[in-house]
């Protein structure tokens, strides 16, 4: 219902999970997100508290699974070691230094044709990654970075790779939506 992309950053205490700070940007109205995060911070809530929250839902105003709860779930996955992230800035630095990881763009071919980063990534849609494992580095310790538009499919692909024995797989946080550098069109 006219939902617009939001990008959030969450800061939490690594030991207790207590939420310390949050930012949210995007083309839509982020005031609800910031107001809710402010209450979570003031209330000294933890990531677990937010993950288990039940926020109001009405299609004209919010998604069935609130952006805030999704953000907290991502943080929970990071804190539990399920998600190993890397920033776009760090990926770009590695590429510029000549130590680029193996990069997998997990979007569909039509998305890739419209817009891509253009730093040597390989297009392997998440829907077919299981069938294309032979195209990945045979050295299972080689660093691999997966991404898509916002890195949901990148995360799913990373889980498939880890389940198949790759040991150094990370997800580019925020995907192409958070890439602050030039892109190919």
pLDDT of residue 133: 98
pLDDT of residue 17: 97
Among 24, 22, 4, smallest CA distance to 12 is for 22
Question: 167 — phi, psi (to 5°)?
Answer: -110, -10
pLDDT of residue 2: 63
CATH H-level, domain 7-79: superfamily: FAD/NAD-linked reductase, C-terminal dimerisation domain (3.30.390.30)
What is the separation, in whole angstroms, between the first and last Cα of the chain?
28
Domain boundaries, the chain: 7-79, 85-178
pLDDT of residue 16: 97
State the pTM of this model: 0.86
| CATH number for the domain whose boundaries are 85-178 | 3.40.250.10
Alpha-carbon Rg for the chain, nearest whole angstrom, is 17
pLDDT of residue 40: 97
pLDDT of residue 61: 66
Distance CA 57, CA 55 (A): 6
Query: Residues, the chain, total?
Result: 185
* Three-class DSSP category at 167: coil
pLDDT of residue 3: 67
Distance CA 145, CA 157 (A): 10
Residue 76 Cα distances to 23, 51, 84, 103, angstroms? 17, 8, 11, 25
Long-range contacts of 25-29 (CB under 8 A, 24+ apart): 28/3, 28/4
Q: What is the pLDDT along the chain (185 residues), one digit of tens a residue?
A: 466 778 889 999 999 999 999 999 888 778 888 999 999 999 999 999 999 998 877 777 667 778 899 999 999 999 999 999 999 999 999 999 999 999 999 999 999 999 999 999 999 999 999 999 999 999 999 999 999 999 999 999 999 999 999 999 999 999 998 899 998 87
Q: What is the dihedral of CA 10, 12, 14, 15, to 10 degrees?
A: -150
């Amino acid at each position: 219902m006219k939902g617009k992309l939001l990008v959030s950053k969450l800061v939490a205490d690594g030991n207790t999970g207590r939420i310390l700070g949050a930012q949210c940007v995007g083309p839509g109205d982020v005031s609800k997100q910031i107001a809710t995060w402010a209450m979570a911070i003031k209330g000294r809530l933890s990531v677990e508290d937010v993950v288990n929250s039940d926020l109001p839902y009405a299609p004209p105003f919010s998604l069935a699974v609130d952006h805030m709860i999704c953000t907290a779930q991502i943080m929970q996955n990071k804190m539990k070691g399920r998600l190993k992230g890397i920033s776009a800035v760090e990926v770009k630095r590695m590429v510029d230094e000549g130590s680029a990881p193996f990069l997998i763009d997990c979007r569909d071919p039509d998305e890739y044709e419209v817009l891509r980063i253009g730093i040597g990534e390989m297009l392997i849609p998440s829907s077919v990654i299981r069938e294309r494992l032979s195209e990945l580095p045979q050295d299972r310790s080689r660093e691999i970075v997966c991404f898509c538009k916002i890195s949901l499919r990148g995360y799913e692909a990373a889980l498939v790779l880890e389940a198949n024995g790759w040991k150094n797989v990370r997800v580019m946080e925020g995907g192409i939506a958070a890439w602050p550098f030039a892109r190919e069109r």
